[in-house]
Amino acid sequence: MADKRVLLLGADYYGTLAAARCYGKHGIAVTMADESRRARALFSRHVGDKLVHPPLSRPDALVDWLVAWGEKNPGSLLYPPNDHLSWLFALHRERLSRAFVMYSPNEGAIITLLDKKLLHEACEHPDVGIEVPVTHALGDAGADHPLAAELRYPVLLKPRTQVFLESGIKGFIVPDRATLAAELARFRSLVAFNRVLTDRHPDIAEPMVQEYLTAAETSIFSVSGFVAEDGTIVARAAMKVLQRPRKVGIGLCFEGRELEPVLVEKLSKLCKKIGYHGTFESEFIVDGDRRLLIDFNPRFYSQMGFDVARGVALPMMVWHAARGERSELDRELASARAWKATGREVYCHKTMLDLVLTLQGMSGQMSRDDVRHWRRWYADHRATATDAVRDPDDRMPAVIDAASWVQHFAKHPRSFVRSFVLNR
């Protein structure tokens, strides 16, 4: 089985779990490694060998470990499940590709997609033409920068990238100019990057100040799929209809949508412009007729299982493309294009949804009508819903997932309740 094996990392990511299930169902041996022995995807019945690797906080040791494992298991596929590893694999692509089969672009392509400043510049190129939110860097001047007086408040203060961001901050809202200086100080006190990134990109730790559009709370449109090296692209679309926290957060519920061909074409041009190929997820704020790109994830992504359920076997596309199996890849692409939507397809993390509805309903952060609406929403779509973790043929990851939330509450009750109750 040495030539039919994949090494998956990031066992607590739902995209990793979706990949393991897809590969396992296609007869590919799955070895999974993580920093923890309790990560949810390790308990999938599709996982064979379960390993512990050096922590991500020690990237050089992790790369050494990967190379050593790959040399002992030649022909194995390696593909990233998160932003950190997407960039790290690209940075060490030459060395890793001698030990693994890979489908990784160069570091320049990956950092362009994951650094919002570079991404915006690429999107605004005349050959691409993707709209992005109005965004500024205030630099050392901070709240004293002349632009601070011209900003339309509230604004969103956010890191340029999530790559090797050790504090896990996605961003927060600054209500007015009077609080900008304090919020910038709070940002700098909370946001810290691993030196593996800042030694190579010294200015990347500076915050971005971005216009805050209320549409981001309710109208995030995603286009996700696969793009080959020759530009061939296949995609699915969805609308994020509920997230946690409500204003800036992680998606809980998605509904399938029809693709917008203009967006797909522009994304294809973006990938061609910077030299990206592989799986991707892009997120747009829907502001009337405008589509403003806010994220591009060049990797396996959280709700990838939704696209697999909608006929796009993304892990297998990566597998065939990495191995140069063009006829098999073409067959997967054709199968994906032939799939037909019913209009009822949805994606949900049911365990997390139940927690949000219960805690926000009890606290009054969500009205009784809203709680009833979302319970009806799930009941109406239950038969066609893809769950982030629940699967009747692979039950243990859901058990571990639920246990991890209970453990989180037991250890950090205040932060747990705050993360599920507060809307900001």
pLDDT tens per residue, range 86-96: 999 999 999 99
307 within domain boundaries: yes
pLDDT digits (tens, 9 = 90+) for 275-305: 999 999 999 999 999 999 999 999 999 999 9
Q: Does 183 score more than 50 pLDDT?
A: yes
CA distances from 2 to 26, 127, 136, 361 (A): 15, 43, 49, 51
Dihedral over Cα of 33, 35, 37, 39: its sign: negative
Query: In the predicted model, what is the mean pLDDT of the chain?
Result: 93
Instruction: Please indicate, yes or no, whether residues 218 and 338 belong to a single structural domain of this protein.
Output: yes
Of 177, 194, 211, the domain-final residue = 211
Which segment of 33-47, 59-73, 155-169, 228-242 scores lowest on mean pLDDT?
155-169
φ/ψ region of 311 (left if φ > 0, alpha if ψ in -120 to 50, else beta) reads: left
- Local confidence band at 172 (pLDDT 50, 70, 90 cut-offs): confident
Give yes or no for residue 132 having a pLDDT over 80. Answer: yes
Per-residue pLDDT, 3? 65
Encoded tokens for 69: 């494992």
- CATH classification at residue 89: 3.40.50.720
| pLDDT > 90 fraction of the chain, expressed in percent and rounded | 80
Residues linked to residue 251 through DSSP beta bridges, in sequence order: 243
Same domain (yes/no): 22, 62: yes
The whole-number average pLDDT for the span 348-360 is 91
Q: Are 227 and 341 contained in the same domain? A: yes
Q: Is residue 120 part of a domain?
A: no
Band of pLDDT at residue 272, cut at 50, 70 and 90 = very high
Asked if residue 72 belongs to a domain, the reply is: yes
φ and ψ at 278, to 5 degrees?
A: 130, -165
Q: What is the pLDDT of residue 361?
A: 86
Is residue 123, in this structure, part of any structural domain at all? no
Please give the average per-residue pLDDT across 248-268, as a whole number. Answer: 91
> 3-state DSSP helix/strand/coil percent for the chain, to nearest 5?
45, 20, 35
* Domain limit, last residue, from 327, 347, 367: 347
Is the CA virtual torsion 217, 221, 222, 228 positive or negative? negative
Number of domains in the chain: 4
Tell me the pLDDT band of 417, cut-offs 50, 70 and 90. Answer: low
178 and 238 both lie in a single domain? no
CATH at 158: 3.30.1490.20
| DSSP-based three-state secondary structure for 109 | helix
Q: Do the beta carbons of residue 111 and residue 201 sit within 8 Å?
A: yes
Q: Tokens 């932060």 map to which residue? A: 415
Taking the mean position of all CA atoms in its chain, how far away is CA 27?
26
pTM, 2 dp: 0.93
Same domain? 165 vs 226: no
The predicted pLDDT at position 141 comes to: 86
Whether 163 and 263 map to the same domain: the answer is no
422 falls in which pLDDT band (50, 70, 90)?
Answer: low
Bridge-based pairing of strands 29-34 and 5-9 is parallel
- Domain termination residue (choose one: 347, 376, 401): 347
Residue 236 maps to a domain? yes
Do 338 and 416 belong to one domain? no
Do both 271 and 362 map to the same domain? no
Residue 422's contacts (CB-CB under 8 Å, 6 or more residues apart) are 245, 365
Kindly state whether residue 371 falls inside one of the protein's structural domains: yes
The pLDDT of residue 362 is above 90: no
Lowest mean pLDDT among 38-47, 61-70, 115-124, 238-247: 238-247
Q: Write the CA distances from 65 to 32, 60, 71, 197, 235, integer angstroms.
A: 13, 9, 10, 19, 34
Q: What is the pLDDT of residue 1?
A: 40
Q: What is the DSSP string of 297-335?
A: E-S--TTHHHHHHTT--HHHHHHHHHTT-HHHHHHHHHH
pLDDT over 90 at 249, yes or no:
no
Residue 232 has pLDDT above 80, yes or no: yes
- Report pLDDT for 370: 93
Report whether pLDDT(337) > 60.
yes
Tokens of 41: 């995807």
pLDDT computed for residue 133 by the predictor:
95
Is there a single domain that holds both residue 218 and residue 340?
A: yes
Domain coverage including residue 364: 349-421
> Which of these ranges, 2-11, 43-52, 245-254, 381-390, has the smallest mean pLDDT?
245-254
Of residues 103, 75, 21, the one with CA closest to residue 326: 103
Domain presence at residue 368? yes
Long-range residue pairs from 178-184, CB within 8 A, at least 24 positions apart, any chain: 180/142, 180/143, 180/148, 180/155, 181/142, 181/143, 183/157, 184/138, 184/142, 184/143, 184/157
Whether residue 234 lies inside any domain: the answer is yes
- Same domain, yes or no: 205 and 223: no
**DSSP letter, residue 170:** -
Q: Which of 79-88, 145-154, 318-327 has the lowest mean pLDDT?
A: 145-154
Same domain? 203 vs 271: no
Encode 270-304: b = buried (16+ Cβ within 10 Å), e = exposed.
bbbebebbbbbbbbbbbeeeebbbbbbbbbbbbbb
Q: Please compute the mean of the pLDDT values over residues 371-376 and round it to a whole number.
A: 96
Checking if the pLDDT of 52 tops 50, the result is yes
| pLDDT over 70 percentage in the chain | 95
Per DSSP, 262 falls in state H
CATH number at residue 295: 3.30.470.20
Q: Are residues 193 and 223 in the same domain?
A: no
